[in-house]
Structure 1
Amino acid sequence: MKIVAPAGSIERFHAAIKAGADEIYMGLKGFGARRNAVNLTLEEYKEALDYAHARGVKVFLTLNTIMMDVEIEAIAINLRELYKHGLDAVIVQDFGLAEFIKVNFPDLELHGSTQMTVANHIEANYLKSIGFERVVLPRELTFEEIKEIREKSNIELEIFVSGALCISYSGNCYMSSFIGGRSGNRGMCAQPCRKKYTCDGNDEGYTLSPKDQLYGYDEIQKLKEIGIDSIKLEGRMKEPNYVFQTVNYYKELINGNNIEEKSSQIFNRGYSTGYFYKDRKDIMNKSFASHLGKNLGELNGKELKLKERIILGDGVTFLSKDYEKIGGTYINKIDTRFERNKREANAGETLVLKDIPKETKYVYRNYSKEISDFIESKMKITDKKHVIDIEFKGKIGEKAKIIVSTLNNKFELIKVSLESQGIIEQAKNKG
């Protein structure tokens, strides 16, 4: 099972590859469903293709919005350049664009975007019949629904396992378009679902704001068992540290290592397993809709009983009873009830805070120095290598043989065999 990682900028691109991503999806400036991401120029994209292919990583271009005729003409010029440079696939929502690519770039793989909302095997098989190689299923499907599609179709299936959830069907929401003329299907969603609303004039909160999705070990093993081809991570607008940590986390889960996730220490507006299970009571976060971090504990006056470890350099934010930000700082001094000038404090200890806003109800950590330092140091020394398999065959009375195999930059299998001049003999001396 492969990991498809996001790259909204060249920094995120390098972070994803260094963490072990197998495939990258990213856009060109002015196109795709994340127009507010930095995205890459044509020349940057070509350089990224070379960098990725040298490390055995595929690159997919995101053209996953509804296209105007004039836009298809404009993208054709850029697409022709990327096609000649070895682009691996294009992710599309628009059937007109898909037909255009199929006719003009017949060797280029087509992937159906999650915004196509292909939610059953009949639709998946139809995409396969008209030339699509892969489809990204909607986030709204349960595991049982995903499993049924896998059993009844042979198209490659890609599943989102982390990131923001849409209050509508995988981006097919017209709320932003109606309110402000910014359509999510044109890559310009203003995210009105993240605003505060009042229900019946009384109950005020972020009624339409879902928690982010984050599958864990159990969910990944279930997807792996039924033969899902790729898992997809959201995050073209998030920081490189988040991309690196999240890719690395899922790499460990795929390899069977049930490790603790740390992505929530970098970006956190609440997490759930989304729609994976039928019971999904915990999917919404009505308290806040932006990144606040992790709740550090229970505040009583100026004393905070910690439920998380903190160290010097951590960043904290102070929140009112309504989760409104009323201040923040970096921790440059740690005093507990019994000790002063510590370098760290552990869960269970009581932290004594001095200069905090009067209306503070909650204290959240929104920056973990320990995790950020670890990721940044690891990114400096880590680089993905091209995988080379070496097989040795040897038998007494026969020539020894070494078989070396790898993929070239076009992902074609290359094998080279070498034989010894003499035959293998039984050892005459022990030791």
Structure 2
Amino acid sequence: MPFRKKPELLAPAGSMESLKAAVQNGCDAVYLGGKLFSARQYAGNFSLEELEEACDYCHLRGVKVYVTVNTVYKDKELPEFIQFIGKLHHMGVDALIMQDAGAAKLVREHYPDFPLHASTQMTSNSLADVNYWYEQGFDKVVLSRELTLPEIRHITEQTGAEVETFVHGALCVCYSGQCIMSSMLGGRSGNRGRCAQTCRLPYTLYCGYDKVAEGHLLSPKDIATVSILPELIEAGIASLKIEGRMKNPEYVAGVTRIYRKYIDMYFEDPEHYEVSLDDMKELTQLFNRGGFTEGYYTSRGGLDMMSVERPKTWGLKVGIVDKYLPQHKKVVIRTREPLVPGDGIEVWTSRGPHVGCQVTKHSKAGEVITLTLEGDIEKNDVVYRTYGKALHDALQKTWEKETRKLQIYGVLKARKGEPLALQLWDNMGSSVY
């Protein structure tokens, strides 16, 4: 394998819990937003005090902090915006992720040493785009999600900028940064941090007066690239970004842990890189919309990329209905995965709303179990586990106990008649005397 620098693993943090989940599960950097000026206004986000706490927590563990100020701003907002940037600069934020070119110019004028990353909202989908933003002072450019691997490789080979791409999580149906659908239909602008996710609504497609199709026709599946990580690394991508500032901490913990595992695996033994079925099941259980797609990395799009039946998470397929006894409200399920008390399951019925319940007993894969459930259930209906109790509990423990520490070295000098002298340093370039 030719020498490749190990790419950064960048994880989302919509709350302090998610931040700790990301850090304790192996990320190299986190991205998060403040209460203002962020493109995810419906995430938990961080107050100034919480941002400072987040910086201290991450930096003590060798993790970088990138703050998203990635919306477009109005003139009247700029004075408060610059004040906010000044506070981020003072507390030691490692970089800003930005969309607004005018606001970025103001940041460079006031804080010329503040590193800037060009948000995916800037729609950088060509070498000319990337080089332009690099010349404008952006150290890193987050590419549009619509590029193929050969296109990305073409860019990384001919630019001085670092390139970042999304490797897991939600996809937009529109070109990154170019969607005005939420504004037009919902009166809420995605470019102002208030996307109404109108692409996730049901639609009907007509050809003339004839109905052609209906369902969630504009709702893409989530992207998952763990199976093609070697190709992404070899394409020269410097930062691998997980989407999900509005996801729960367990999601952040699980996805970060798996991508950390496989990045390290590739660099330790690239010849035997292989993704386990159990890890794919875990990713599926955490969140999926009818399975995953490799996105535009390996295809030009199409119906296979869409989750037409349902825009929300499906869960993991765990069984098939063997029979239903409506008079007793009993459903008999032939399982394919083990179940534990506290698991939530859902039967996908062909008519009417899907129905579900909570599991109360342990069972092994392959067992036939009987549950009390009322609904329009038929033989061969598919059963999904929408909540995995065991996985949830296991992931929660990963950030409740401190496991990630930074080695610190020191020298203490004590000599009679002279003041004590203590020097401390780490391998990240920090030192104090």
Normalised by the size of structure 2, how large is the TM-score? 0.84
- Matched residues in 2 for 1:309 and 1:389: separation? 47
2:225 & 2:37 partners in 1: Cα distance?
Answer: 29
Q: Which moved more, 1:87-96 or 1:381-390?
A: 381-390
Question: Superposed, which structure 2 residues align to 1:231-246 within 5 Å?
Answer: 231-246=240-255
TM-fit CA distance, 1:18: 0.8
Identity %: 39
When residues 163 and 293 of structure 1 are mapped into structure 2, their CA distance, relative to the original with a 3 A threshold, is same
1:253 alignment partner, one of 236, 254, 262: 262
Code of the aligned partner of 2:309 = S
TM-score by length of 1: 0.85
* Structure 1 residues 31-430: aligned runs within 5 Å: 31-200=37-206, 201=211, 203-217=213-227, 219-256=228-265, 258-259=275-276, 260-261=279-280, 262-270=282-290, 271-278=292-299, 280-281=301-302, 282-302=304-324, 303-321=332-350, 325-333=353-361, 343-346=362-365, 348-359=366-377, 361-386=381-406, 406-408=426-428, 412=429
What's the CA shift string for 1:173-209, capped at 9, x where partnerless?
1111111211111111111111111122352211111
Deviations 1:43-74 (A, max 9, x none): 11111111111111111110111111122221
CA deviation vs aligned residue, 1:282-319 (integer Å, no higher than 9, x gap): 21111110123122232243332323332222111233
Aligned to 1:340: none
Gaps of 5+ in 1: 334-342, 391-403, 417-431
- String of CA shifts for 1:112-164, please: whole Å, max 9, x gaps: 00011111111111111111100011111111111111111120111100110
- Any idea what SS the aligned residue of 2:369 has? strand
- Using the alignment, how far apart are the partners of 2:364 and 2:376 within structure 1? 23
Query: Which SS does the other structure have where 1:310 is aligned?
Result: coil
Aligned residues of 2:363 and 2:369 also touching (Cα < 8 A): no
- Structure 2, unaligned runs of 5 or more: 1-6, 266-272, 325-331, 411-423
Q: 1:22 to 1:297 in 2, by over 3 A?
A: same
3-state secondary structure, aligned to 1:353: strand
**Structure 1 residue identity aligned to 2:358:** Y
What amino acid does structure 2 have at the position aligned with 1:344?
Answer: S
Relative distance call for 1:247 and 1:349 in structure 2 (3 A) is same
SS in 1 for 2:163: strand
Conservation of the 8 A alpha-carbon contact between 2:149 and 2:235: no
Is the 8 Å Cα contact of residues 163 and 233 (structure 1) preserved in structure 2?
Answer: yes
**Structure number having the greater helix percentage:** 2
Q: Per the alignment, do residues 389 and 213 of structure 1 end up closer, same or farther by CA in structure 2, a change over 3 Å counting?
A: farther
Q: Secondary structure at the match of 1:366?
A: strand
Report the CA distance between 1:387 and its aligned residue: 5.1
What is the deviation of 1:7? 0.7
Contact 1:35 1:188 in 2 (8 A): yes
Counterpart of 1:244 in structure 2: which amino acid? A
Larger radius of gyration: 1
Alignment coverage as a number of residue pairs: 388
**C-alpha RMSD of the superposition:** 2.3
Equivalent residue of 2:295, what SS? coil
SS in 2 for 1:235: coil
CA 279–128 in structure 1, closer or farther in 2 if over 3 Å, else same = closer
CA separation in 1, counterparts of 2:94 and 2:156?
23
Amino acid at match of 1:51: Y
Distance 1:329 1:190, change over 3 A: same
Cα distance between partner residues in 2 of 1:20 and 1:414: 24
- Whole-angstrom CA distance in 2 between matches of 1:253 and 1:205: 35
| Letter aligned with residue 206 of structure 1 | H
Structure 2 distance, partners of 1:75, 1:59, is 19
Determine helix, strand or coil for the equivalent of 1:301.
strand
Contact map agreement 1:317 1:325 (CA 8 A) in 2: no
